[in-house]
A and B are shown apart, each in its own frame.
Chain A
Amino acid sequence: DAKTTQPPSMDCAEGRAANLPCNHSTISGNEYVYWYRQIHSQGPQYIIHGLKNNETNEMASLIITEDRKSSTLILPHATLRDTAVYYCIVLNSGGSNYKLTFGKGTLLTVNP
């Protein structure tokens, strides 16, 4: 699975959009980009995933560049409860072992 690079930490004001970048320059054609987050003392929570097209759900939007070498997770109106570590993961769609390879992620702190 391709490696990802994320900034270790980011701050965001409550009510503003939080834009979390992820670099995955070695991503291959059949690899998806997944985002999970982990709030303190809880297990990781699935947010969104995508292959080529931009995706949106009730939690967030995922913008993937045309060359697929980077992506941005957007939380449109961040709240204090969005403070968490956000993990960008690249996952191969083939094979039978669907393990998630977590890095250290980005600690997003939403400030009042």
Chain B
Amino acid sequence: ETGVTQSPTHLIKTRGQQVTLRCSSQSGHNTVSWYQQALGQGPQFIFQYYREEENGRGNFPPRFSGLQFPNYSSELNVNALELDDSALYLCASSLRDWGLGYTFGSGTRLTVV
């Protein structure tokens, strides 16, 4: 059984640029969620994807967008990067039955300079 893998592990971008983060969900999981974790804080929910459609969104602006592919992998895109977007971005996969728990990846550390 493979876990959740995220790429890249670290990334440095300049303010105003665009970034794409990638996530491969755990085998058999059909739902992917993305979280942003600022330093010293708990993860904050960005959005969730199920069957290639957005299935709930947190308090993040439209420049945060995502995709889910037929193989359940996912991308997080952030446009017009701001300094405050510097954070650890976590991907979590699960089965539609939430009771089985979420499996998180180790995250992508994004630094915006």
**Contact yes or no, B98 A98, CB < 8 A:** yes
Assembly CA distance A75 to B62 (angstroms): 41
A39 to chain B, nearest CB (A): 10
B66: CB under 8 A from chain A? no
* CB interface residues, A 13-54, toward B, < 8 Å: 32, 34, 41-46, 49
- From B44, B94, B105, A102 is in contact (CB under 8 Å) with B44
A99: CB under 8 A from chain B? yes
By a CB distance below 8 angstroms, the chain A residues around B94 are 98
Which of B31, B45, B106 has the most CB atoms of chain A within a 10 A radius of its CB?
B45
A47 to chain B, nearest CB (A): 9
Assembly CA distance A46 to B40 (angstroms): 20
**Contact yes or no, B48 A99, CB < 8 A:** yes
By a CB distance below 8 angstroms, the chain B residues around A104 are 40-42
B88 to chain A, nearest CB (A): 9
- From A44, A93, A96, A101, B45 is in contact (CB under 8 Å) with A101
A80: CB under 8 A from chain B? no
Residue of B nearest to A102 (CB): B42
A-side residues, CB < 8 A to B, are: 32, 34, 41-46, 49, 85, 87, 91, 93, 96-105
